[in-house]
Amino acid sequence: MNFDFNTANRILFGEGALKEIGTIARQFGNKAVIVAGGDPKSIENLKEILSNSEIEFVIFKAAGEPTTRLVEEAIRLAKENSSQFVIGLGGGSAIDIAKAISVMLTNPGELLDYLEVVGKNRAIDLPAAPMIAVPTTSGTGSEVTRNAVLAVPEKKVKVSMRSAYILPRVALVDPELTYGLPPRLTANTGMDALTQVLEPYVSLKANSMVDMFCREGMKRAARSLEKAYHDGSDRQARIDMSWTSLLGGLSLANAGLGAVHGFAGPIGGMFHAPHGAICASLLAPVTAMNVKALALRAPGEPALERYHEIAKILTGKDSASIKDGIDWLQSLKDALEIPGLSEYGIAEENFSEIIDKALVASSMRGNPIQLQREELEVILREAL
Ligand SMILES: [Zn+2]
């Protein structure tokens, strides 16, 4: 048994945890830049707590996708105000912008220097400025991951900035902040969270530490995602989903993902579709194809037995077969009323480009078996 596990310095979890942010922030200085997504009430609460702790701050509103242009603007604001640390409050986008600022506050040069594909992909040499990540959705787990995903609309791609230095110094997960999340966002982000505890469990880079998180996360999402969708005020369901999301971030950052995310990256760059909805459409077809390919080409691989365990965890039945697990995933997507990929304008004629890009996506390297082009095509067709 061996593993290498890396995460935020401190993880604070619980209803009402936001109240602690003044004390936490004080240790990083008295000048903050806040990247704010989330609902206005959470932002007001944050402002009040910081003011009471005598912390000065400027606010950058994160509306929509974190494009490189938007991020450059945010970096400028932080530098002009001599910000000492960064707070990202919101969904994955706000936290990703905050991560990019924290890197650029200490590292020389321009944002583009540090981006893959569209930039120089220069290594981040210096520790980033301290950053506190406060998620207001339950999906990405971005509060404990070491990359920031930025969009480059001109080139129709999403690119990552990656480094262990990008890990937030503090992940503050307060499920209360997700109570107001509307059903659609709850469903989409929740399916992302579920995918992010399922893919690392069968990943080629799976390890004992992460396995434990994945099992717990799948159990919680299975019992609570639909509940949170139908009744946003169900506190236990919200806590379960915040916990699953955090576990997903911890897992993917340390064990990688698989073909669902291998596809989701390129599709997200090419089409305007929510990341979680893309994952939701792909999860059952990818699982079915992985199982089929494993049975055909690598029947002795442990991943097959793991898919069996997944089926038992998701259905809550010891007698469940792998097929029961796949059916369960499909019916959850239906119960959450998530449309297929064709809803976002994706059609057969796009398959070839999507597959070209997916084959070289970093997440694809974690998939338990290498899938062939024809197999990837079948997955996309089923996800339409
Ligand atoms: Zn994801």
Write the pLDDT tens digit of every residue in 302-325.
999 999 999 999 999 999 999 999
What's the CA-to-centroid distance between 274 and ligand 1, angstroms?
10
pLDDT of residue 187: 98
What's the CA-to-centroid distance between 196 and ligand 1, angstroms?
6
What's the CA-to-centroid distance between 49 and ligand 1, angstroms?
31
- What Rg, from alpha-carbon coordinates, does the chain have? 20
Question: What would the pLDDT profile of 246-304 be if each residue is shown by its tens digit?
Answer: 999 999 999 999 999 999 999 999 999 999 999 999 999 999 999 999 999 999 899 99
pLDDT of residue 158: 85
Residue 155 above 90 pLDDT?
A: no
Q: How confident is the model at residue 64 (pLDDT cuts 50, 70, 90)?
A: confident
Looking at the DSSP bridge assignments, the partners of residue 10 are 170
pTM above 0.85, yes or no: yes
- What percent of the chain is modeled with pLDDT above 90? 92
What's the CA-to-centroid distance between 249 and ligand 1, angstroms?
9
Residue 132: what residue type?
A: I
What's the CA-to-centroid distance between 180 and ligand 1, angstroms?
21
What's the CA-to-centroid distance between 8 and ligand 1, angstroms?
19
Residue in 303, 277, 302 with CA at minimum distance from that of residue 290: 303
pLDDT of residue 280: 98
Question: What would the pLDDT profile of 159-175 be if each residue is shown by its tens digit?
Answer: 889 999 999 999 999 99
What's the CA-to-centroid distance between 257 and ligand 1, angstroms?
9
Kindly give the residue spans of alpha helices, DSSP state H, lying in the chain: 21-26, 40-52, 68-80, 92-104, 183-202, 208-230, 235-255, 259-270, 275-297, 302-315, 322-335, 351-359, 373-383
Section 122-129 average pLDDT: 96
Residue 38 above 80 pLDDT?
A: no
What's the CA-to-centroid distance between 269 and ligand 1, angstroms?
13
Residue in 103, 115, 104, 195 with CA at minimum distance from that of residue 152: 115
Output the average pLDDT for the chain. Answer: 96
Measured CA to CA, the distance from residue 91 to residue 136 in angstroms comes to 6
What's the CA-to-centroid distance between 276 and ligand 1, angstroms?
7
What's the CA-to-centroid distance between 71 and ligand 1, angstroms?
21
Residue 44 is encoded by which pair of tokens? 């007001």
